[in-house]
């Protein structure tokens, strides 16, 4: 079976999320949370992994919504 872009993105998200997870565990840091008490900044040393995750999730999102929705979301429709 040929690889698809959505599968490549899912694997990239998984790979970099594992890097983040393993770092947080090894440094005994809290996991990101929506809790109002959560104030821990994201570790600077994970900036590259964080960027890769956010870029891949944004691209995956755009690939999985109808094309006209992507145009509206990205502001390309007048």
Which residues are within 8 A (CB) of 57 and not within 5 positions of it... i.e. 6 or more apart? Answer: 9, 13
Diameter of the chain measured on Cα atoms: 49
Note the pLDDT of residue 39. Answer: 92
Average pLDDT of the chain to the nearest whole number: 89
In the chain, what are the domain boundaries? 8-26+43-78
Residue 49: how many CA atoms within 13 Å on its side-chain side? 16
Whether residue 78 is predicted with pLDDT greater than 60 in this model: the reply is no
- C-alpha 22/C-alpha 20 separation (Å) is 6
Whether residue 77 is predicted with pLDDT greater than 90 in this model: the reply is no
Q: Quick check: pTM over 0.85?
A: no
How do residues 15-50 score in pLDDT, each as one tens digit? 999 999 999 999 999 999 999 999 999 999 999 999
State in Å, rounded, how far the first CA of the chain is from the last one. Answer: 40
48-66: average pLDDT: 94
């Amino acid at each position: 079976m040929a690889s698809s872009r959505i599968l490549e993105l899912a694997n990239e998200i998984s790979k970099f999320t594992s890097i983040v997870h393993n770092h947080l565990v090894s440094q005994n840091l809290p996991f990101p949370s929506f809790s109002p008490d959560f104030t821990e900044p994201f570790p600077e040393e994970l900036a590259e992994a964080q960027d890769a995750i956010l870029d891949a999730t944004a691209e995956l999102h755009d690939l999985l919504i109808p094309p006209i929705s992507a145009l509206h979301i990205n502001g390309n429709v007048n």
